[in-house]
Amino acid sequence: MPVAIDLSAPGGVALALLPEILLTVWACVLLLLAAWQHRDPDAHRRIGGLALVGLVAALVVMVWFWKSGTRPAGLPLMIALDTFRYAGAIVFLIGAILTVLLSLRYLGRERIAVPEYYALLLFAVIGMLLMGGAADLIVLFLGLETMSLAVYVLAGIKRRSGTSAEAALKYFLLGAFASGFLLYGIALIYGATGTTNLTVIAFQLSDGGLQDSALLSIGVALLLVGFGFKVAAVPFHMWVPDVYDGAPTPISGFMAAAVKAAGFAALIRIMVTALGESTAVWQGAVWWLAVITMLIGNLIALAQRRLKRMLAYSSIGHAGYLLVAVTSGTPAGASAFLFYALVYTLMTIGAFGLLAALGRDGESEVLIDDLSGLAAGRPWISFAMAVFMLSLLGFPGTAGFIGKWYILSAAIGTGQWLLAVILVLGSVVSAGYYLPVIMNMYMREPVERRPDLSASVDLVGAARGVVATAVVLLILLGVWPNRVLDLAVDGSRDLRAPALVTGTSP
Amino acid sequence: MLELVFWFFSAAAIVSAFLCITRRSAVASALWLVSTLFDLAAIFVLLDAQFIGVLQVLVYAGAIMVLFLFVIMLLDLGREGRTDMKGSVGQFVALALGVGLVVELWVLKRVMDAEGGFAAQTAAFQLPEGELARMTEAQGAIGIIAAPLFRQYLVPFEVTSVLLLVAVVGAVVLAKRRL
């Protein structure tokens, strides 16, 4: 039975924001617990377990919202109540749950004795939920800032490490710069349309009078620059390798997967809901961003010898693929994004989780060549790595293939043939750095000069469960994606605003 | 008369802002920033936004800048001497960016004029003449700020408090000497 929530009444707002409020209260409880039990390593792990409880509770509420078909009574003010919010939130929450599971032992091993880690992770997730669920540019911006601030700190949470501090500072300065662009863009869009509500913006633009307004065009351009930084699109990607390299590995995975997915969710919400009928304003610019991001990200990744930097550049290439889904500007593109975001979260966090098990001290020293002969000593770990690499490559039989397929069909659905060809080309180039990982593990003899990696691999406890779950899900979604694809299609059902405003059915 | 006051405070704001970024001493720079914020407060008052003007003086020119100056003096950064200001190349780039901004404003104005002027373009969103003064009389200077802030914009207001909490926790986690 569909539930309609009245967003102009205080009770309605509280109900609509139930997952966010739940997580905020829970994060404050965790902060208090962390303040009392600061020195005890066992307590740190307990706090991590409690963080999981909060994340799962928020997940349950989101699923309940989706199942019951919760929708706003009238115009969505400030916070959206549509399936895109619920679907996006589920992807972010899954990413966060996997990250917490990977971190439980990692923090102890790397002697990161900061129990606030988990509270900050929850705050980052709150920001993501607000980004993906915003119906207003102000809420979207505040969500983005909440997420960014928490992630800046998480990137530098290894206080004894110089590279971690460098990563945090670099990320903070460039992120603050990008936020400035974004805010300026939002201000200009407000100037052009007189509102920050996404649905009302679409309504203002629907009569066509503002199509070639200079204020709107400059505003959208600045918005794209800001989001370009946040989702690491070329030419705004300079910070990515150093930041991913310096941050603790579970956080690198979290940044590559969930933070990027949240940025894209917010971008899609603006582009499809507010500007979906005025594609002329932005489609060309996003087209070029997608092309150069795919080409340059994949080409630079070819030159990397270190596994962590290679994964960082590969995440830039994947930002390019997701930009292709944005370029289509249709609900089909949004559902392709939702499916790919889920798959990408699984394979990226899985790959970074394995990397965390392979190395020590931030794992930035693990070379791709070090993996030589790993398959002989550790067949299961090599198998998992091979699955992640093949899925990142988009090999048929893995979920990465299905995800790319749906992005391609969304691009072709709007007649973007050239973009589809370039996407395939980019994937072919990416084989040049994903396949050597597999070849090293299975077809080379172990190298002598380094300590034997297969003996020192440390994949136990919850991290083992994370990697195993990711592998199983990637293969399962690769051969039987129907159910999740249906959900992804349902997830972008009511994203287009004009139908809502004019009252006509889509 | 009103126009004269506006021009006076605008000129003062621009000159103070310029001096703020060109002074070598951090204390002098901060004091010129105080002056800029005062002038902006006066312009808010001219725009019938008295409450915002008062807040500007109390919070920005008062509390925040005093804290700022206090930190500068505590760290003993006030003396002339070594500076990390960029050389002539940096100044040239900054100048170019500034000129770019002015050109952007000029282009916007040209486009607006071509499309019937700024007033015509934004007529739909503009309050009628004297409307703000009437509303202030009816609801009080604070009421017209408070009502939208705690009703229409309640969600962003609350999210801002979470944002500030994250900033405080993050600063302590990163910077405290012994956790």
Total number of domains in chain B: 3
> Residue A292 is part of which domain span?
4-502
How far, in Å, CA of A476 to CA of A444, rounded?
A: 29
- Statement to judge: residues B9 and B47 lie in one domain: yes
**Bridge-partner residues for A136, per DSSP?**
A197
Residues B99 and B141 in one domain: no
Among the listed ranges A30-34, A254-258, A357-361, which one has the minimum average pLDDT value? A357-361
Burial of B106 by CB count in 10 Å (0-12 exposed, 13-18 middle, 19+ buried)? exposed
User: What is the average pLDDT value for chain B, to the nearest integer?
Assistant: 84
Nearest to A150 among B107, B159, B166 (CB): B166
* Residues of chain A found within 8 Å of residue B159, distances taken between Cβ atoms: 130, 139, 142-143, 146
Q: For residue A1, name the pLDDT band (cuts at 50, 70, 90).
A: very low
Quick one: closest CA in B to A190, which residue?
B125
Contact: A145, B124; criterion CB under 8 Å: no
Does residue B139 sit in the same domain as residue B156? yes
Q: Are residues B75 and B61 in the same domain?
A: yes
Report which DSSP code applies to B121. H
Distance from C-alpha of A386 to C-alpha of A442, rounded to nearest angstrom: 9
Mean pLDDT over the full length of chain A: 88
Q: Higher pLDDT residue, B109 or A333?
A: A333
- In the block, tokens 């901060």 appear at B30
Q: Which ipTM was obtained for this model?
A: 0.91
| pLDDT (0 to 100) of residue B82 | 59
3-class SS of residue A99: helix
Give the number of other Cβ atoms within 10 Å of residue B92's Cβ: 11
> A215-219, A336-340, A490-494, B116-120 — which one is most confidently predicted on average?
A336-340
Report which DSSP code applies to A5: E
**A146 near B159, Cβ under 8 Å?**
yes
Residue A350 has pLDDT above 60, yes or no: yes
Residue B110 sits in the same domain as residue B168: no
B7 shares its domain with B51? yes
Contact in structure between A349 and A468 (CB atoms under 8 Å)? no
pLDDT the model gives residue A378: 85
**Are residue B138 and residue B59 in the same domain, yes or no?**
no
With CB atoms and an 8 Å threshold, state whether A194 touches B125: yes
Residue A215 with chain B: CB contacts under 8 Å: 108
- Grouping H, G, I as helix, E, B as strand and the rest as coil, residue A79 is strand
| Beta carbons of A157 and B154 less than 8 Å apart | no
Q: Which of A90-94, A141-145, A303-307, B13-17 has the lowest mean pLDDT?
A: A303-307
Positive or negative: CA dihedral A140, A254, A496, A276: positive
Bridging pattern class, strands A4-5 and A71-72 = parallel
Cα Rg of chain A (Å, integer): 22
* Beta-bridge partner residues of A134: A79
Rounded to the nearest 5 degrees, what angle is found at the Cα of A365, between the Cα atoms of A114 and A107? 15
pLDDT digits (tens, 9 = 90+) for B71-81: 888 887 656 55
Question: Predicted confidence band at B162 (pLDDT cuts at 50, 70, 90)?
Answer: very high
Where are the strands (E) in A79-121, listed by range?
Answer: none
Whether residue A48 contacts residue A122, with contact meaning beta carbons closer than 8 Å, is answered with: no
Q: Name every chain A residue with its beta carbon within 8 A of the beta carbon of B153.
A: 78, 138
Q: Are residues B28 and B64 in the same domain?
A: yes
Q: How far apart (Å, rounded) are the C-alpha atoms in residues B49 and B47? A: 5
In chain B, residues with a C-beta closer than 8 Å to the C-beta of A38 are 179
Residues A400-421 have a mean pLDDT of: 92
Q: Do A123 and B162 touch (CB under 8 A)?
A: yes
pLDDT of residue A261: 95
Both tokens assigned to A258: 């969930």
DSSP assignment letter at A134: B
Measured in angstroms, the CA of A461 and the nearest CA of chain B are apart by: 27
What is the rounded CA–CA span in Å between residue A392 and residue A430? 9
Tell me the whole-structure pTM to 2 decimals: 0.90
* Residues B80 and B94 reside in one and the same domain: no
Interface test with A, best of B160, B162, B164 (most A CBs within 10 A): B162
The DSSP bridge partners found for residue A197 are A136
Residue A327: alpha-carbon gap to chain centroid: 18
Cα separation, A395 vs A383, in Å, equals 15
CB contact under 8 A, A138 and B108: no
SS3 of A282, please? coil
In percent, the amount of chain A with pLDDT more than 90 equals 59
Q: How much is the pLDDT for A505?
A: 35
Going by C-alpha positions, the residue among A330, A305, A321, A304 that lies closest to residue A391 is: A321
Q: Out of B72, B105, B121, pick the residue that ends a domain.
A: B121
Whether A148 and A230 have beta carbons less than 8 Å apart is answered as yes
CB contact, 8 Å: B114 with chain A? no
Task: Give the model confidence (pLDDT) of A176-195 as tens digits.
Answer: 999 999 999 999 899 888 88
With tokens 């699984």, the residue in question is A346
Which pair of structure tokens corresponds to residue A111?
Answer: 């002697």
pLDDT at A457 over 80: no
Report the alpha-carbon distance of residue A107 to residue A93 in Å, rounded: 20
| C-alpha of A462 from chain center | 22
Q: In this structure, what is the dihedral angle of CA atoms A370, A371, A376, A380, given to the nearest 10 degrees?
A: 140
Instruction: Determine the structural domain holding residue B108 and report its residue range.
Output: 89-121
Question: What average pLDDT does this structure show over A80-89?
Answer: 92
Same-domain check for residues B1 and B55: yes
Residue B67: strand, helix, or coil = helix
Q: Any idea what the Cα angle at residue A290 is, between residues A284 and A296, rounded to 5°?
A: 130
- For residues B151, B152, B156 and B157, what is the CA-based torsion angle, rounded to 10 degrees? -30
pLDDT at A254 over 80: yes
| Cα(A34)–Cα(A120) distance, integer angstroms | 11
CATH code: domain of residue B25: 1.20.120.1200
Q: pLDDT band at residue B128, thresholds of 50, 70 and 90?
A: confident
Q: Does the distance separating the beta carbons of B179 and A114 come in below 8 Å?
A: yes
Contact between A420 and A408 (Cβ < 8 Å): yes
* DSSP annotation of B79: S
Is residue A166 packed enough to be buried (19+ CB in 10 Å), middle (13-18) or exposed (0-12)?
middle
Q: How many domains does chain A have?
A: 1
B128 Rama class: left (phi>0) / alpha (psi -120 to 50) / beta:
beta
Confidence of residue A504 (pLDDT cuts 50, 70, 90): very low
* CA A46 to mean position of chain CA atoms: 26
Residue A503's φ and ψ, nearest 5 degrees, are 85, 0
